[in-house]
Amino acid sequence: FRLQCKYAAALDDLGFCLAVDASNARAHHCRGLCLMEMQRYIQAAAHLNLALKHQFRPEIVTVVSLGRCYQELGKLELALEHYDSALRADGAKAYAFFCRGHCRRMLGDEAGAASDFHQVMKSDSKFHVPYMKRADDAMRRSDWIGADDILNSLLKHLPLPPDERYKVEERRTLLHSRSPRSQKFHS
């Protein structure tokens, strides 16, 4: 349900899972992600903390997601601590660099943010591909502003290779041609 953007249904199902097993780390993690999508960051942070408590070894994606909650709540230093913690762990780090880059930019550290955004592409040269798919999904739902935000973020933050940058710009052109409110978008 979460992947279909049916968050209320997903929360219900995950609630049943947690009623059966309150220590189910995966259910707490997924519930936290749903609550984040619904912009209920305090509740999301609570579930992500419970997920970390019940995980055998803290998962990077859970630590980064908790950092994102704190970032959305304006607790930037605490968010930065979580991103740094995720970057010290073993595993894929592109997402942690991406989130830390945004947090550093919000804290006014432009050089640190730029460095993190470069590390994203060094860590995973295809990092932007799922975001392109998210933008496509947003366009299919007629969420023109959401799609534009995603594409603008890719262009603004990531040092994409020229051919990939062209694909993102081409997608923005398509978005603007399809949008009924194309006059609201900024080039």
Contact 149, 157 (CB under 8 A): no
Residue 173 CB neighbour total at 10 angstroms: 12
Q: How many separate helices (H) and strands (E) can be counted in the chain?
A: 10, 0
- pTM over the 0.95 mark: no
Segment 116-130, tens digit of pLDDT: 999 999 999 999 999
Kindly list the distances between the CA atom of residue 18 and the CA atoms of 10, 11, 30, in Å, as whole numbers in the listed order. Answer: 12, 10, 11
Contact 88, 105 (CB under 8 A): no
Contact 51, 28 (CB under 8 A): yes
Which segment, 26-30, 86-90, 142-146, is predicted with the most confidence on average? Answer: 26-30
Round to whole Å and give the CA distance between 88 and 96.
10
At position 148, the amino acid (one-letter code) is: D
Segment 58-105, tens digit of pLDDT: 899 999 999 999 999 999 999 999 999 999 987 788 999 999 999 999
Contact 69, 101 (CB under 8 A): no
In this prediction, residue 1 has a pLDDT band, given cuts at 50, 70 and 90, of: very low
